[in-house]
Amino acid sequence: MGKIIVLDEHTANKIAAGEVVERPASVIKELVENSIDAGATLIEVAIKGGGLTSISVSDNGSGMDSQDALLAFERHATSKLTNADDLDGIATLGFRGEALPSIAAVSKIRLSTRSEGNNAGIQIIIEGGKILHSGETGCPKGTYIEVNDLFYNTPARQKHLKNPTSEAGHVSDIISRIAMGYPGISFQLKNEGRIALKTPGNGNLLDCVASIYGTDLAKELLKVEYNTDLISISGFIGKPFVSRSTRNHQSVYINGRYVKDKIISDAVESAYHSMLMVGRHSVFILKINTNPKLVDVNVHPAKTKVRLAEPDEIEYHIRKSVKDTLTSHRLIPDTDLTNNKPVKSLPDTGTDKKIEKGMGTDTASATQEVIEQFSVQTFKPATTFNLSEKPKYNIEKESYDNRRSENIHDYVRETNEYHNMNDTKTSASTFPELRTIGQIDNTYIVAEGLDGMYLIDQHAAHERILYETFMSREQDYIAAEQLLFPETIQLTNQETQILVDNINKLANLGFVLEHFGGNSFLLRAVPAGLPKPGGKETFLDLLDYFSQNRYTITDKTLKEKLLITMSCKNAIKAHDRLTQPEMEALISNLAKLKQPYTCPHGRPTIIHFTIYELEKMFKRVI
């Protein structure tokens, strides 16, 4: 029989280190958070060998007096909590009093620190948790801590971490994320003596983000500002076209603390629904502030996970704040042909400028017809285009402003009416006023706006128009339309099983099938509005979708999948020739959508060439 013993403190610390100290980056996270809690405004980190050889963190915070400095390495020694009640509303990053003893247990530490009002500081040297030396030293106010030979006495852990380059990457990542949480603090990271990262610490989040992700990305970010009694949300989100293939450019802070929370990230991404291509992820830096009593941070040793008291409500507000931000901005990528990448974004001018539409001939009624053709269901009131007017288009810039002053009042009033009628926000007010010029390759519509040239992908644009029309229909079923000649469909065993399990769901979507013996079926009806020749193919696509997404599929996602297919199949194609009124109707319908800037698969519908860009290409400016 075994005998229960109480572990000595040294062993207990080594075990705790297994939880808190996973790798150099986690050591740095703890040390930097201590510096922040100590009120530092300047935090300098240096690493060698990816942090395995050495780490140093110096700060200009409060420092410690000699008694506290020694106590800090005792287990559960903290200055941040006085009793258990404090756990209900934690405002500091640390509170467990576990980090320093855990780190000390698995490394060789040198600490020097001095607090305000003390002439001398204290230096402490610890190896494997044992204090080897402590004594007075001269040092600036603040704390300097050096962690050498991390995991020297835990070879099993060390073996897992042999690549300094990848460890340095983790370090840089965690410092970036913490830094974006504290734009008022200047952070610096030196890797092997070279500056890898430096934030300005001027309190401006966008400057901080730009110093980390670069100014090209920072220019494509939209500011989020959202406040309710329960929650305030602020920060920046990327326009859909600056998406990334991973979620690495997503950071969430709850009450200042950087957290990894899938529920929150998913809520943000869901606000980008249908605006991102498959496998792409949005960029965001979002700060959520709420009553600390609603957030339990004491659920994970590294404190990167939280438990929310009102998850649904918080999720709702996050989604809404992001959605509102997206719909109130013009999300058109600017081209930069000379650098061959999307670049600067102009301020939103959608609501304060207006140019007139029309060709000066009586195309109004013809246009109206085409609108109806294109949109299947006629759209809600025109907001920016008055089709019965027959204005003359004049390209001279001076006259824009005259017209603007005449029309701006109507425009604002109409826009307001539109918004009142549909309480969901739309992008109508951000869409540029365009004059249609023509078609290139029977595929792209060329248009002129106040600020340069626009190209519109006619298929993508029409797809979005149809998608929003279909999606706005209230009913959750799709009417079936009988085929004149039923089609025979031969399925595999697996497909037959899926079909049999979901026959009612499919009937709700308009697919009516009849068993014909074995794995053969007759397709008798297809969704009304689906072009007939594509019925069988669409049905088989849907079955594939079923088998690939068996666990995540819902009635809603299934219906949407079908509506996207229907939008695609019904939309005008690339290489379809369009008349001038057709092009104009297409653009004017696009302009009225909730989200006109991407097709339902996330590809852009419209791109922009600035006048500056054109001037650069013609060498009018250098």
Distances (CA, A) of 516 to 208, 255, 276: 66, 62, 41
Distance CA 189, CA 5 (A): 44
| Interaction between residue 94 and Mg ion (CB under 5 A) | yes
Q: Cβ closer to ligand ADP: 98 or 334?
A: 98
Q: Cβ closer to Mg ion: 99 or 106?
A: 99
Distance CA 123, CA 140 (A): 12
Nearest distance, CB of residue 79 and Mg ion, angstroms: 10
| Interaction between residue 367 and Mg ion (CB under 5 A) | no
33-72 residues near Mg ion, rule: CB under 5 A: 34
Region near ligand ADP per CB under 6 A, out of 64-72, 163-171, 252-260, 383-391: 64-72
| Interaction between residue 175 and Mg ion (CB under 5 A) | no
Region near ligand ADP per CB under 6 A, out of 73-81, 334-342, 499-507, 549-557: 73-81
Distances (CA, A) of 165 to 20, 52, 187, 196: 21, 11, 20, 13
Whether the CB-CB separation of 255 and 215 falls below 8 Å is answered with: no
Distance CA 93, CA 292 (A): 12
| Interaction between residue 465 and ligand ADP (CB under 6 A) | no
| Interaction between residue 27 and ligand ADP (CB under 6 A) | no
Region near Mg ion per CB under 5 A, out of 90-98, 263-271, 412-420, 537-545: 90-98
Nearest distance, CB of residue 339 and Mg ion, angstroms: 44
**CB atoms closer than 10 angstroms to residue 369:** 13
Distance CA 392, CA 122 (A): 82
Distance CA 440, CA 583 (A): 12
Nearest distance, CB of residue 96 and ligand ADP, angstroms: 5
Q: Cβ closer to ligand ADP: 301 or 604?
A: 301
- How many Cα atoms are found within 13 Å in the side-chain-facing hemisphere of 197? 29
Q: Cβ closer to ligand ADP: 35 or 538?
A: 35
Handedness of CA 233, 236, 237, 239 (dihedral sign): positive
* Binding residues with ligand ADP: total (CB under 6 A): 23
| Interaction between residue 30 and ligand ADP (CB under 6 A) | yes
Give which of Mg ion, ligand ADP, none residue 62 binds (C-beta under 5 to 8 Å, depending on kind): ligand ADP
Distance CA 578, CA 584 (A): 10
Among 79, 118, 234, 394, binds ligand ADP (CB under 6 A): 79
Please give the backbone phi and psi of residue 454, each rounded to the nearest 5 degrees, phi first.
Answer: -120, 140
* Strand 512-515 relative to strand 307-308, pairing: unpaired
Region near ligand ADP per CB under 6 A, out of 30-38, 297-305, 326-334, 356-364: 30-38
**Residues paired with 286 in a beta bridge:** 235, 252
Among 27, 45, 46, 72, binds ligand ADP (CB under 6 A): 72
**CB atoms closer than 10 angstroms to residue 498:** 20
Region near ligand ADP per CB under 6 A, out of 57-65, 331-339, 441-449, 578-586: 57-65
Token pair of 427 as six digits: 């992008």
| Interaction between residue 44 and ligand ADP (CB under 6 A) | no
| Interaction between residue 589 and ligand ADP (CB under 6 A) | no
Distances (CA, A) of 576 to 42, 442, 568, 579, 600: 61, 6, 14, 10, 20
Helices then strands, counting H and E runs in the chain, come out as: 19, 22
Q: Cβ closer to Mg ion: 76 or 515?
A: 76
Region near ligand ADP per CB under 6 A, out of 15-23, 34-42, 255-263, 443-451: 34-42
Region near ligand ADP per CB under 6 A, out of 59-67, 234-242, 394-402, 535-543: 59-67
| Interaction between residue 77 and ligand ADP (CB under 6 A) | yes
* Strand 142-148 relative to strand 130-137, pairing: unpaired
Q: Cβ closer to ligand ADP: 79 or 496?
A: 79
Nearest distance, CB of residue 102 and ligand ADP, angstroms: 8
Give which of ligand ADP, Mg ion, none residue 345 binds (C-beta under 5 to 8 Å, depending on kind): none
Q: Cβ closer to ligand ADP: 71 or 206?
A: 71
Site string for ligand ADP, 95-114 (x = CB under 6 A): xxxxxx--------------
Nearest distance, CB of residue 33 and Mg ion, angstroms: 5
Distances (CA, A) of 552 to 280, 555, 558: 18, 10, 10
Q: Decide: residue 493, CB within 10 A, 0-12 exposed, 13-18 middle, 19+ buried.
A: exposed
Q: Cβ closer to Mg ion: 306 or 587?
A: 306
Angle of helix 535-548 versus helix 555-570 axis, rounded to 10:
150
* Strand 452-457 relative to strand 444-449, pairing: antiparallel
Nearest distance, CB of residue 277 and ligand ADP, angstroms: 43
Distance CA 33, CA 164 (A): 23
Give which of ligand ADP, Mg ion, none residue 79 binds (C-beta under 5 to 8 Å, depending on kind): ligand ADP
| Interaction between residue 34 and ligand ADP (CB under 6 A) | yes
Among 78, 176, 290, 565, binds ligand ADP (CB under 6 A): 78
Site string for ligand ADP, 130-149 (x = CB under 6 A): -------------x------
Q: Cβ closer to Mg ion: 181 or 235?
A: 181
Distance CA 435, CA 439 (A): 12
**Residues paired with 444 in a beta bridge:** 440, 457
| Interaction between residue 12 and ligand ADP (CB under 6 A) | no
Please give the backbone phi and psi of residue 63, each rounded to the nearest 5 degrees, phi first.
Answer: 70, 180
| Interaction between residue 59 and ligand ADP (CB under 6 A) | yes
Nearest distance, CB of residue 261 and ligand ADP, angstroms: 21
Residue 604 DSSP label:
B
Nearest distance, CB of residue 543 and ligand ADP, angstroms: 55
Distance CA 432, CA 350 (A): 5
Distance CA 210, CA 39 (A): 24
Distances (CA, A) of 488 to 15, 537, 542: 66, 12, 16
Among 10, 48, 80, 320, binds ligand ADP (CB under 6 A): 80
Q: Could you list the residues that contact Mg ion (CB under 5 A)?
A: 34, 94, 99
Q: Could you list the residues that contact ligand ADP (CB under 6 A)?
A: 30, 34-35, 38, 59, 61-64, 68, 72, 77-80, 94-100, 143
